Amino acid sequence: EIVLTQSPGTLSLSPGERATLSCRASQTVTSSYLAWYQQKPGQAPRLLIYGASSRATGIPDRFSGSGSGTDFTLTISRLEPEDFAVYYCQQYGSSPYTFGQGTKLEI
Amino acid sequence: EVQLEQSGAEVKKPGESLEISCKGSGYSFISYWIGWVRQMPGKGLEWMGIIYPGDSDIRYSPSFQGQVTISADKSISTAYLQWSSLEASDTAMYYCARPLVRGSVWAFDIWGQGTMVTVSS
């Protein structure tokens, strides 16, 4: 089973700043099958990034993903108030298709 | 519109059985995998398992294998998550989700609204 470790656990930033979230895998993620999700309180997760770097439909271009192998990054270039939420990475290259433990992005 | 509609919240006692459902609409149900994700109160997302309704191929996380049963009825475009004997530790929100790509296990782009399961004596 691939274990995904996200860091930091909590990230405290202000609107307008740049956010960099990390996701490290215990083994190589097949074909960069790595996704990022955003979850706000009381809501289902929302897909932001798939294939490590492809933005899902309707996702603003301030969100970008990068990385390969075992190290992946989600970058939010200029934080908007609505971006403060919890972010999860997930690998879907090898069953079980595990999630990271999440990074809370707080104001 | 592509949607996954989940059944309503449940309150059960330890030892009871339960089945929750997830109905797909607006797309070809048999052509996409459907996954289940657990979120315990205040905790992160846990991948439980996934089913392909077209041929009932199922993959379970080892953490949930033997603890739950995943099934689907393609005649009514509905997937199910079932417990035979609930425990207090099963208290959680359960989401169903559909991958982005037809016929492939992929990132989940469509999510149900979640079903809250509370197990308490």
How high is the pLDDT of residue B26? Answer: 96
Strand partners, A71: A24, A68
Whether A44 has a pLDDT exceeding 90, the answer reads: yes
Q: Give the model's pLDDT for residue B90.
A: 98
Helical segments of A1-107, H only: none
* pLDDT given for residue B107 in this prediction: 94
Give which of B111, B113, B115, B116 to mutate to test A binding, by max A Cβ within 10 Å. B111
pLDDT, position A15: 96
Q: Nearest Cα to A8, choosing from A82, A86, A99, A60?
A: A86
What pLDDT is attached to residue B103?
A: 87
Q: What is the mean pLDDT of each run of 10 residues along chain B (121 residues)?
A: 97 98 97 97 97 94 96 97 97 97 92 98 94
Tell me if A37 and B113 make a contact (CB, 8 A cut-off). Answer: no
Q: Is A87 on the interface with B (CB under 8 A)?
A: no
Helix, coil or strand: residue B13: coil
Compute the distance between CA of residue A88 and CA of residue A22 in angstroms, rounded to an integer. Answer: 10
How far is Cα A62 from Cα A77, in angstroms, rounded to an integer? Answer: 5
Tens digits of residue pLDDT in A53-68: 999 999 999 999 999 9
Mean pLDDT over each residue of chain A, to the nearest integer: 96
What integer pLDDT is reported at residue B4 of this predicted model? 98
Apex B77 CA angle, B73 and B81, nearest 5: 55
CB atoms within 10 A of CB A20: 13
Q: Which tokens go with A106? A: 């707080």
Tell me what pLDDT residue A30 has.
Answer: 87
